[in-house]
Amino acid sequence: MSHFWGRSMKNAASIRLLAALGTTVLSVLMPLESAGASVCFGTSANGRVSDAVALPAQGENYGPYSSLGVTLGRTHVHQTVRDIVVDAYAAAYRTMPTTLFLYGETGLSSGGAFKPHRTHQSGTSVDFMVPVLDGKGKSVALPSNALNKFGYALEFDANGKLNDLQIDFEAVAEHLHQLAIAAKKHGAPINRVIFQRELVAQLYRTKRGEYLRRSVTFMKATPWIRHDEHYHVDFTLPCRPMTDYGR
């Protein structure tokens, strides 16, 4: 089961039907979470994290990019980031209840080098896979399997199209809006978002476009790899110096 839902899952009801089974299976495979408070060290590009927690294996309107990635421990974050992500998804469920969201890779339980990513080392970064619509305009899960690198090898054009799939820009914008609100509430505002520049322009045309233009910082430089099938979000937390790690 390379993807928790598979491409055939068409609506939020399908997520709820699988939630109990998926959570049970993943809870057996995953180690128990630490009871300590998360502490980040250094930076996203050169850092570590202690007492990180895994993102929930299943939510009302969201799930992971790959159950294998969850099992391998590639979805750990600082606990404040976990709370931000969960709160934002809950808010998005209230405004867009039929939209499916997937989170991508985040980092390891102790942080540090996280290949093939250049960052994701301090528990403060999260990849979010783009929500997509099928040819009938219905929200569906992004295809995810080993052949397309669990979604990371998919390539959308400047209009957000890939075969019969269309990036749901309204859903991306709503999600970023809710992430920004939740991040401020938890005292860890969004530092930056990395998304293809031509796709950011599409976000500015959505209902939340003006808010995003005013309140969310998108990286202006061209990313080192394409960020079209996912948007990378860095949160600002008071991380300790790397020299403190392990003391």
Per-residue pLDDT of the chain (247 residues; tens, 9 = 90+): 333 344 334 444 443 433 333 433 333 333 344 446 999 999 999 999 999 999 999 999 999 999 999 999 999 999 999 999 999 999 999 999 999 999 999 999 999 999 999 999 999 999 999 999 999 999 999 999 999 998 999 999 999 999 999 999 999 999 999 999 999 999 999 999 999 999 999 999 999 999 999 999 999 876 666 788 999 999 999 999 999 998 8
**Three-class DSSP category at 209:** helix
Q: Which strands sit side by side in the sheet containing 139-140, from one edge to the other?
A: 139-140, 132-133, 165-167, 161-162
Residue 33, SS3 per DSSP: coil
User: Is residue 216 a contact partner of residue 206, using CB atoms and an 8 Å limit?
Assistant: no
Q: Which of 118, 101, 78 is nearest to 239 (CA)?
A: 78
129: which 2 tokens? 């896979």
Residue 1 DSSP symbol: -
Task: Output the pLDDT for position 107.
Answer: 97
Q: Please list the alpha-helical segments (H only) found in 56-204.
A: 67-71, 79-95, 169-185, 197-203
Distance of CA 214 to the CA centre of its chain: 22
Note the pLDDT of residue 4: 36
Q: Quick one: pLDDT at residue 17?
A: 35
pLDDT in tens, 46-60: 999 999 999 999 999
Q: Give the pTM.
A: 0.85
Q: What pLDDT does residue 247 have?
A: 80
Can you give the residue ranges of every domain in the chain? 12-30+37-244
Question: Any residues with CB less than 8 A from the CB of 27 and at least 6 apart, and which?
Answer: 57
Local structure of 231: helix, strand or coil: strand
- The CATH topology of domain 12-30+37-244 is Muramoyl-pentapeptide Carboxypeptidase; domain 2 (3.30.1380)
Q: What Å distances lie between residue 188 and 56, 80, 105, 176, 197, CA to CA?
A: 19, 8, 19, 14, 24
The predicted structure's pLDDT at residue 139 = 97
Dmax of the chain from CA atoms? 56
What pLDDT is recorded for position 61?
97
Name the CA dihedral angle for 190, 195, 199, 203, rounded to a multiple of 10 degrees. Answer: -10
Dig out the tokens for 77 from the structure. Answer: 């974050």
